[in-house]
Amino acid sequence: MKPTVWKLIPTDDTEAERLHAELKIPLLFCKLLLQRGIRTREDASIFFRHDLSNTHNPFLMKDMDKAVERLDHALQSGERILLYGDYDVDGTTSVALMYAFLSGFYANLDYYLPNRDKEGYGVSIQGVEYARETGCTLIIAMDCGIKAHKAIDLAKGYGIDFIVCDHHLPEGGVPDAVACLDPKREDCGYPYKELSGCGVSFKLAQGFALQHNMPSEELASLLDLVAVSTACDIVHMTGENRIFAHFGMQRLNRSPRIGLWAIAQKTNRPYPLDISDVVFGIGPMINAAGRLADAREAVRLLLSVDKNSALDYAGQLVQRNKDRRQMDQSTAEAAQHLFKMKSDWQTRKSTVLFDPNWHKGIIGIVASRMVEAFHKPTVILTESNGKAVGSARSVAGFDLYSALQECEDLFYTFGGHAHAAGVQLPLENIEAFEERFEQVVGRTILPEIENPQMDVSAVLRLEEVNADFWKMLKRFEPFGPHNNNPLFWAKSVFNSGKSRLLENNHVKLSLQQEGSNVVCNGIGFGLGKKYEAVEGGPFDILFHIREEEWQGYRSLGLYVKDIRKSSA
């Protein structure tokens, strides 16, 4: 692994002092605001005061009027409606959200999620055939569909209309659907472009509710699903997304839907839950259904109305996730071994690996593990139905989607974002793709992002970590991309005498700092190899702050991300 660079995020001290004078909050938090592009009292007020009235009118989205009109016509005519979603967290929460919303006043509904192995990502021909066979005349495609030209054309020939709710980049224009809701359309003037697929689906529900003067609670009850999708799909935690996530997390903690409550119970997540509990606890359980079995299992759980059956469903997903973890660990080890067999592995700018026996459901996780291990843009490929299918993951600062665009002549299909993508290509093109991708990455990756980097918000002394500090820091939640959980740097700390090495390469820390009697406890996951620095004298740490609860007692702890010896 390349050495990690610790880099303080540059902040204009003069601007911070000005904001400090205006807001009358501690200077450090003014610097955190500036790091988020918040420079005025008005912007700070909007940032700190979550208000659903600060979200945008759904009819600002291109085709929203057409979508609401077509949905209204289907309901009045008694048409059978098929809710179609991708098999990941964003897709399953989208289907659950739309089903929960419509089923409150309409019964002629069905839902469909493609089989990851047999059908792959997106709107499949099999899905369209299912709609025809079951008498559906309207399909609402969520978290997919913006590239489904062929499937939507086929459906149109059958007399089946499509409403697309997607957030991926269109390709070759938008398909011939009745309505294509996608803020990333070039001709869409919607002010906020970073919604999740479930977020776009929520806007459709919001548009319908506004048109029919429905009670606000009908929509508020859906926000826990929007929060889960927003957190797990790694979209920007800014603007509308942050507002939706805030109120969604409130609902998740105060009156969660039974399915989400059951997952929290089965994964032993203590309340109150935060975004990291969703990303690392709830999300993997929902994803486990689509990775190794049938994504409809996750939708059934999310729509559960009985606690006992929900706990049973959740227990099944927990077991599937355990199976998934064992599989992805062994596959990641095999992938690392395969990569190191390449004579030039240390100098390569990218990683492309293929094994026909790797399980399609876990190659995305394996790609992420490879990025963690080698810090290179990575594509992991396996074979499915005579094609090479792959998941790609990027390093921070490198636009993966743009790099794949330069290889698109080698693909059947591809899609995704700057940080994650999926590809399908002929088996005979794998070698050419590996060579082309390496050339593209080598030509376009910036030298400063070739080493892993941790962006540090501020230097902080341990005695500053107290209840008042935590109360102010919580006002920056919910955290996520573009509103990251601040990473702090404590210098010249030392072991109080109670730190110890744990199993599984983890470290339990009990720390002090010169000139202070304050002792801070923390945990460092996967930092066992750096325990020598803890025993050897003063050292520096990078850490997040997290509230912990044990037997009803709450305390602040350090979530340590890196350790290194203090410089002289």
Q: What is the pLDDT of residue 266?
A: 94
Q: Domain boundary residue among 423, 449, 475?
A: 449
Whether residues 121 and 204 share a domain: the answer is: yes
Q: Which amino acid is at 127?
A: G
**Three-state DSSP string of 185-232:** CCCCCCCCCCCCHHHHHHHHHHHHHHHCCCCHHHHHCCHHHHHHHHHH
Q: Among 399, 431, 449, which residue terminates a domain?
A: 449
Same domain, 351 and 223: no
State pLDDT tens for residues 85-123: 999 999 999 999 999 999 999 999 999 999 887 888 889
| Count of structural domains within the chain | 3
Are residues 227 and 355 both part of a single domain? Answer: no
* Mean pLDDT, rounded, of the chain: 94
Domain check: are 459 and 422 in the same one? Answer: no
pLDDT-based confidence at residue 446 (cuts at 50, 70, 90): very high
C-alpha 45/C-alpha 52 separation (Å) is: 14
d(CA 565, CA 355): 40
| pLDDT tens readout for residues 257-307 | 999 999 999 998 888 899 999 999 999 999 988 887 789 999 999 999 999
Query: Does one domain contain both 391 and 534?
Result: no
Sheet of strand 378-384: strand arrangement: 351-354, 378-384, 387-393, 420-426, 413-416
Q: Tell me, yes or no, whether 225 and 134 share the same domain.
A: yes
Q: How far is C-alpha 9 from the geometric centre of its chain's CA atoms?
A: 23
* 70 plus 199 within the same structural domain: yes
Which CA distances in Å does 103 have to 30, 119, 121, 474? 46, 27, 26, 36
For residue 464, give the CATH number of its domain.
2.40.50.460
Query: What's the CATH number where 312 sits?
Result: 3.90.1640.30
Q: Is there a single domain that holds both residue 440 and residue 463?
A: no
**Co-location of 66 and 42 in the same domain:** no
Range of the domain at 368: 327-449
Quick check: helix, strand or coil at residue 360?
A: helix
Among the candidates 401, 433, 449, a domain finishes at 449
Whether residue 568 is predicted with pLDDT greater than 70 in this model: the reply is no
3's enclosing H/E stretch is none
* 22, 116: one domain: no
CA of 521: how far to CAs of 209, 272, 490, in Å?
49, 20, 13
| 98 and 206 assigned to the same domain | yes
Give the tokens for residue 492: 């010249």
Here the CATH number for the domain that contains residue 420 is: 3.10.310.30
Mean pLDDT of 313-333: 91
- Measured CA to CA, the distance from residue 521 to residue 555 in angstroms comes to 9
pLDDT band at 512 (very low <50, low <70, confident <90, very high): very high
User: Do 180 and 287 share a structural domain?
Assistant: yes
pTM above 0.85?
yes
Taking only the tens place, the pLDDT of each residue in 23-74 is: 999 999 999 999 999 999 999 999 999 999 999 999 999 999 999 999 999 9
